[in-house]
Copies of this chain bind each other. A is one copy, B any other.
Amino acid sequence: MVKVVKIGGNVIDNQAALARFVKDFAAMTGPKILIHGGGKLATRLAEQLEIPTTMIDGRRVTDAQTLDVVTMVYAGLVNKRIVALLQAEGCNAIGLSGADGGAVRATRRAANPIDFGFVGDISVEGVDADFVLSLVERGVVPVFCSIMHDGAGTLLNCNADSVASAVAVAVAKRCDTELVFCFEKAGVMADVDNPDSVIAQIRPQSYKTLLADGVVNKGMIPKIDGAFKALESGVKVVTIKHSEALNLECGTKIVL
């Protein structure tokens, strides 16, 4: 089973949480791939450089200056920090943008109805699973940031959750694959205010009930929808769990 793990931005921003996650990820046995978000560092750097940050529906509008900022922060600082920490833990990581080795190609999002600038959308066809798995087979652990390219020389800012899903689905065409979303919460909660209310398993039928009862909150809906899409495309199981629980049997498992 290849494990494709996505680590969210809030963990990246917290040095202690990141160090702990890196240790756990390095200790995780079996073939694995990491995809990391960006955290608030890019927004902070843009502020310092007096580049205005515009977010629409949670997506960063990425003009040329902002593309430079996210490329520096995600593909440079965050990616290399994580890779160096993993290497120190004995995990032979290799940091990748989509351009590296032609690993993942994205398509620039159309300027209508909203012009997001240098923002890309990911499809499974854009992932070179042969290349990614050739690294994995050599015991090398790919660590992706969410900066991809269009194949024509332009870098594109993409959504890390979408990168994780596309990579997992592409890999699932060759090997059994699990997709794990790690973040700062324990999983999908029946009661957001009660950390003990983690829903252990969600299946299509129970998801309908959770939606009808309004239990699943807004931000979680695209994540779970995405999870079902990945499952329908061949991923065996999608897990949503706390970044501190990577190697524990817990969190929310989403299965068909």
Partner of A94, one of B85, B92, B93, B101: B101
The reply to whether the CB of A134 lies closer than 8 angstroms to some CB of chain B is: yes
Min Cβ gap A45→B in Å is 8
Contacts A/B (CB < 8 Å), 26 sampled: A45-B72, A48-B48, A49-B49, A68-B77, A71-B77, A71-B81, A74-B76, A75-B75, A76-B77, A76-B79, A80-B97, A80-B100, A80-B155, A81-B155, A83-B100, A84-B99, A84-B153, A84-B155, A85-B153, A87-B99, A87-B149, A87-B153, A88-B153, A93-B100, A93-B101, A101-B140
Contact A151 B87 (CB under 8 A): yes
Min Cβ gap A145→B in Å is 9
The reply to whether the CB of A102 lies closer than 8 angstroms to some CB of chain B is: yes
State A134–B81 Cα separation when bound (angstroms). Answer: 24
Partner of A95, one of B87, B99, B138, B151: B99
Contact A87 B75 (CB under 8 A): no
Which residue of B is nearest A143, CB measured?
A: B100
Contacts of A76 in B (CB 8 A): 71-77, 79-80
Contacts of A140 in B (CB 8 A): 101
Partner of A48, one of B49, B75, B152: B49
Q: A84-B149, A87-B99, A95-B97 are in contact. List 18 more A-B contacts (CB 8 A).
A: A45-B72, A49-B49, A71-B81, A73-B76, A74-B76, A76-B80, A80-B97, A80-B100, A80-B147, A81-B155, A83-B99, A84-B99, A87-B149, A88-B152, A92-B101, A94-B100, A101-B140, A134-B138
Which residue of B is nearest A98, CB measured?
A: B84
State A92–B105 Cα separation when bound (angstroms). Answer: 13
